[in-house]
Amino acid sequence: MYFENRQYIQKPPTKVSNMTQTPVRILGLSGEYRPTSKSGMMVNLALSCAESKGAEIIFWDCAEKPLPFVGEDGCWENENVKEFQTLASSCDAFFVCSPEYHGTMSGVMKNTFDWLYDKHIGGKPFGLMCTLGGMQNSNTLNHMRIMLRWLHAWPVPEQLAIGHVKDAFDEDGGAEYKSTIANSINATYNGISVQDTWEDQERYLIEDKIGKYKNHYYARYEDGKIVEVWKLDCNDVLAIVLPKAQKQYPKKKAGNAKDPRIGVTISKKEIYAVGTCILG
Ligand SMILES: Cc1cc2nc3c(=O)[nH]c(=O)nc-3n(C[C@H](O)[C@H](O)[C@H](O)COP(=O)(O)O)c2cc1C
């Protein structure tokens, strides 16, 4: 029948890697040049998380291996294009982050996708992210989602838009922010989920919660304006937080506390003792 072999009817994913046998292979694509760009950093953060769960990760950097514009002289014989398409075919899943330029994905991002076809990425899952100079919105994510439909790929429902992205990273990468409108500066880490053992709890705080971000910034507001900002190194934060968390741990673990999760406050005295004043 005429419709039976139509290529553009969406099919569910057919290729599923078994993580216990072969690590899932994930390719990271950025709509900005270099891993140090904001979108590059977002992709690499996602790749690092996947790597920690056992995935094999690869990042394609258009600064190192540029992809020509589709249609420009010599583009069809370009070696980078061939390598890129072979690599994409060999990967099971993709993390993508584009900056929002004029309300949509960047030209670099679109041109990267213009080199991919159903035969390279069809049926494979995509995690979508977007960075914005202004307010967070979903336009770029939606546009990428629609584009991927044309390629028969499967963007997952979860997606991430990072508005005012300049504030999300500093010179050492991702940063933690806390703010208060209290009369004295302080920083509270609350909602810390309780782990099975104190060793697990310590590891969780070091690796997933506090040590994950090198620099922690604390700000105090007065009448809607920031009047004071301090910067602390994660090791100093951990030196303060770990003993306080350890003290709370047995009660929280036993389920005898009103709030089941751990919460630790760093006082003004502690901040002033080890922090660097940025403002105020
Ligand atoms: C040509 C151009 C257009 C842009 N358009 C938008 C836009 O429509 N909305 C927005 O929030 N940011 C816009 N921005 C800011 C970028 O989203 C922001 O620069 C990007 O997320 C990456 O941050 P970075 O330049 O610090 O690496 C634009 C930037 C450029 C260069």
pLDDT tens-digit profile, the chain (280 residues): 344 444 444 444 555 555 557 899 999 999 999 998 999 999 998 998 899 889 999 999 999 999 999 999 999 999 999 999 999 999 999 999 999 999 999 999 999 999 999 999 999 999 999 999 999 999 999 999 999 999 999 999 999 999 999 888 888 888 899 999 999 999 999 999 999 999 999 999 999 899 989 999 999 999 888 899 999 999 999 999 999 999 999 999 998 878 889 999 999 999 999 999 999 8
What is the Cα–Cα distance from 35 to 37, expressed in whole angstroms? 6
184 located within any domain: yes
Domain that holds residue 186: 171-279
Beta-carbon contacts of residue 194 (< 8 Å; ≥ 6 apart): 201, 249, 252, 253, 260, 261, 262
Cβ of 31 less than 6 Å from ligand 1: no
Q: Domain boundary residue among 116, 141, 167?
A: 167
Atom of ligand 1 nearest to the CA of 38: 27
Same domain, yes or no, for 88 and 178? no
Cβ of 240 less than 6 Å from ligand 1: no
Same domain, yes or no, for 79 and 160? yes
219 located within any domain: yes
pLDDT of residue 2: 40
Our mutation pick for probing the ligand 1 site, out of 132, 138, 169, counting the most ligand atoms within 8 A of Cβ, is 132
Enter the pTM of the model.
Answer: 0.73
10 located within any domain: no
Pairing of strands 56-60, 25-30: parallel
220 and 203 Cβ atoms separated by less than 8 Å: no
How far, in Å, is the centroid of ligand 1 from the Cα of 99? 6
Q: Domain boundary residue among 127, 150, 167?
A: 167
Identify residue 234 by its one-letter amino acid code: C
Same domain, yes or no, for 199 and 103? no
pLDDT of residue 3: 43
What interhelical angle do 107-114 and 139-150 show, nearest 10?
A: 10
Same domain, yes or no, for 258 and 275? yes
How far, in Å, is the centroid of ligand 1 from the Cα of 153? 26
233 located within any domain: yes
CATH of residue 242: 3.40.210.10
What is the Cα–Cα distance from 106 to 99, expressed in whole angstroms? 6
CATH of residue 78: 3.40.50.360
pLDDT of residue 66: 97
How far, in Å, is the centroid of ligand 1 from the Cα of 43? 16
Structure tokens at 80: 């980078």
User: Nearest-CA neighbor of 95 among 146, 31, 152, 176?
Assistant: 31
What is the Cα–Cα distance from 260 to 179, expressed in whole angstroms? 23
Q: What's the number of domains the chain is made of?
A: 2
How far, in Å, is the centroid of ligand 1 from the Cα of 106? 9
Nearest 10 degrees: CA dihedral of 162, 163, 164, 170? -10
pLDDT of residue 238: 98
pLDDT of residue 10: 45
